Amino acid sequence: MNLWHDFLTNTGRRVDKWTHYFPIYEKHLKDWRNRTLTFLEIGVAKGGSLQMWKRYFGPMATIVGIDINPHCKEVEEDLIHVRIGDQSDSKFLAGLIDEFGQFDIVIDDGSHKMEHIRKTFDFLYPTISKNGIYIIEDLHTAYWEKYGGGIEKADSFINICKKFIDELNADHSHGTVQQTFITKHTFGISIYDSVIVFERGTIPLKKVVRSGTDPKLRSFKRAVKKVKNALT
């Protein structure tokens, strides 16, 4: 099954996505299909995306959606759970983890407001499973004033991510960047048009390694030895 094809042939509830998100989803989520997993989408709207994820991930997935709009509760069905609350309310988010356990995948497609995105990320990212995936979409709002964004705004989520890139590389910064949770528990950050994907993970062995031989280097060393011998 291909997610784009599923989207195009959808006869279920309405889904709202951008075309270029589909290859991003496939790239980061395809290995999670048909596994036991707990998935959270922030922003339910008409409920179509929850149905799409249910079809995509298969029968062993627990699909959870949250929304501030109480009507979204109506889209609950077998394997799809909807809870009503505010994504920036950490007590509400903690209650979800109590109820469903640790999430493996989180997609933030909620209010798209900078303050909410940051609060939700700060709370949820450290709680997801150690190889989990955290996706934030529609980040074009990071450039829009109405959403708390702006190119010069230090707390636009895109500008915050620029700092996260430094934190990811803190071990090479000669002490100029302090290690953070991002440094210690993130395998990678992928930046796309309007979408950022965080892959949780640790890198237990971080050092330069070499294998194989370099014939040029060997003959150079031999030449140096010859010169040294000739001089002594």
Q: Which residues are catalytic?
A: 112
Min dist. Cβ of residue 208 to ligand SAM (A): 43
**How far is CA 4 from its chain centroid?**
20
| Location of structure tokens 């997801």 | 128
- Binding part of the chain for ligand SAM, among 20-28, 54-62, 84-92, 211-219 by CB under 6 A, reads 84-92
Min dist. Cβ of residue 213 to ligand SAM (A): 53
Min dist. Cβ of residue 109 to ligand SAM (A): 4
3-state SS assignment for residue 201: coil
Q: Is 51 in the site for ligand SAM (CB under 6 A)?
A: no
Identify the helix (H) or strand (E) that includes residue 39: strand 37-42
Quote the CA–CA distance of 39 and 46 in Å, as a whole number. Answer: 18
Q: Is 16 in the site for ligand SAM (CB under 6 A)?
A: yes
Q: Which alpha helices (H) appear in the chain, and where do they start and end?
A: 3-8, 21-29, 48-57, 90-100, 114-124, 157-168, 181-185, 215-231
Taking each helix axis from N to C end, the angle separating 90-100 and 114-124, rounded to the nearest 10 degrees, works out to 40
Min dist. Cβ of residue 46 to ligand SAM (A): 6
**How far is CA 69 from its chain centroid?**
25
Which is nearer to ligand SAM, 108 or 167 (by Cβ)?
Answer: 108
Q: Is 80 in the site for ligand SAM (CB under 6 A)?
A: no
Positions in 86-125 near ligand SAM (CB under 6 A): 86-88, 109-111, 116
The answer to whether the beta carbons of residues 134 and 125 sit under 8 Å apart is: yes
Min dist. Cβ of residue 182 to ligand SAM (A): 24
Q: Is 17 in the site for ligand SAM (CB under 6 A)?
A: yes
Quote the CA–CA distance of 98 and 110 in Å, as a whole number. Answer: 21
Q: Is 214 in the site for ligand SAM (CB under 6 A)?
A: no
3-state SS assignment for residue 133: strand
Count of residues of this chain found to bind ligand SAM when the rule CB under 6 A is applied: 21
| Location of structure tokens 């994820």 | 53
Q: Is 67 in the site for ligand SAM (CB under 6 A)?
A: yes
Q: Is 136 in the site for ligand SAM (CB under 6 A)?
A: no
- Binding part of the chain for ligand SAM, among 26-34, 80-88, 98-106, 188-196 by CB under 6 A, reads 80-88
Query: What tokens appear for 54 in the block?
Result: 């249910």
| Among residues 48, 132, 148, 149, the one that binds ligand SAM under rule CB under 6 A | 48
Chain residues binding ligand SAM by CB under 6 A are: 15-17, 41-45, 48-49, 66-69, 86-88, 109-111, 116
